[in-house]
């Protein structure tokens, strides 16, 4: 069952750019090879890490087609389709070719700051209309509103809503979801730093940004935790701690692309309003990458 294939480690892929801020498909190919060899379980395309806010509709199509064509293990693809207009999302769904897409990841509406009833009706409309399953995405630090546990549990009753990427950082809220969710509803960590803790309370894995640069370490951490081997899991979590701190301070995907530049996967170019990392920040990331290799 496809739902089972979305357990473990999903990598929230960056979108590499060249010096002219065009999509760097050579860099993307290197990234797909690195993460596939590292053991990731599925790709997440066009999320926050992929700079979905500043890539065009045509670029999104080209990137998706490229990933489908350079996916030798046939790993599942979770495709980001989100926004703060329900009708616009439904139009995007109507114009999307879902061949090869396992599910969509759709962020809770931002800026509008809807009520919980508004959020529920937003997701219900998407789930009713979408030909593939839905993964909810709660990230209040970016959206300005929280997808509360009671609303998540209510939405989980919809047969086309398979899970939630939970990036609120609120473990009490995550516990409430884990306690009362149906057995096959996927609670997925949206914070690398909380992966071990989230799996310990019932999460199925993580959608990881650090897995772009360190897929093997993240995958082994997740696999160890799913086996209840917490001694090994803590070893990886603690080893990644410094990198977590740097990514949190610098911001994602700016720090993530800098990691990949150090690893010679792609350059650290980002599109405005994001700005490239420079100076001392680069040196700190270079040192932290060296510690992990």
H/E stretch holding 137 reads: strand 134-138
- How far apart, in Å, do the first and last CA atoms of the chain sit? 36
Instruction: Check residue 97 and report its DSSP letter.
Output: -
**Cβ neighbour number for residue 270 with a 10 Å cutoff:** 22
Distance CA 281, CA 250 (A): 8
Tokens standing for 208?
């990881």
Contact between residue 83 and residue 44 where contact means Cβ atoms under 8 Å apart: no
Active site residues: 137, 165
In 3D space, the residue among 153, 233, 156 whose CA is nearest the CA of residue 197 turns out to be 233
- The DSSP symbol for 281 reads H
User: How many beta carbons lie within 10 A of that of residue 238, not counting itself?
Assistant: 11
Residues in the chain: 293
């Amino acid at each position: 069952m496809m739902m089972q294939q979305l357990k473990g480690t999903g990598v929230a892929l960056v979108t590499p750019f060249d010096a002219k801020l065009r999509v760097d498909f050579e860099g993307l190919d290197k990234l797909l090879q690195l993460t596939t060899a590292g053991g990731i379980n599925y790709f997440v395309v066009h999320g926050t890490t992929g700079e979905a806010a500043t890539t065009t509709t045509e670029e999104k199509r080209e990137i998706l087609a490229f990933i489908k064509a350079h996916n030798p293990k046939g790993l599942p693809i979770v495709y980001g389709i989100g926004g703060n207009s329900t009708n616009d999302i439904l139009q995007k769904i109507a114009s999307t070719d879902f061949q090869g897409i396992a599910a969509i990841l759709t962020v809770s509406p931002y800026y509008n700051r809807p009520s919980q009833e508004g959020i529920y009706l937003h997701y219900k409309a998407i789930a009713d209309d979408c030909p593939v399953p839905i993964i909810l995405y709660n990230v209040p630090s970016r959206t300005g509103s929280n997808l509360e546990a009671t609303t998540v549990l209510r939405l989980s009753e919809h047969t086309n809503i398979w899970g939630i990427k939970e990036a609120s950082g609120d473990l009490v809220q995550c516990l409430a979801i884990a306690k009362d969710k149906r057995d096959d509803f996927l609670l997925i960590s949206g914070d690398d730093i909380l992966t071990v803790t989230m799996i310990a309370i019932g999460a199925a894995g993580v959608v990881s940004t650090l897995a772009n640069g360190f897929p093997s370490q993240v995958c082994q951490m997740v696999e160890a935790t799913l086996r209840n081997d917490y001694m090994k899991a803590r070893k990886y979590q603690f080893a990644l701690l410094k990198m977590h701190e740097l990514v949190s301070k610098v911001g994602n995907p700016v720090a993530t692309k800098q990691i990949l530049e150090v690893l010679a996967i792609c350059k650290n170019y980002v599109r405005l309003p994001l700005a490239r990392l420079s100076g001392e920040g680069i040196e700190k990331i270079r040192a932290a990458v060296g510690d992990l290799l």
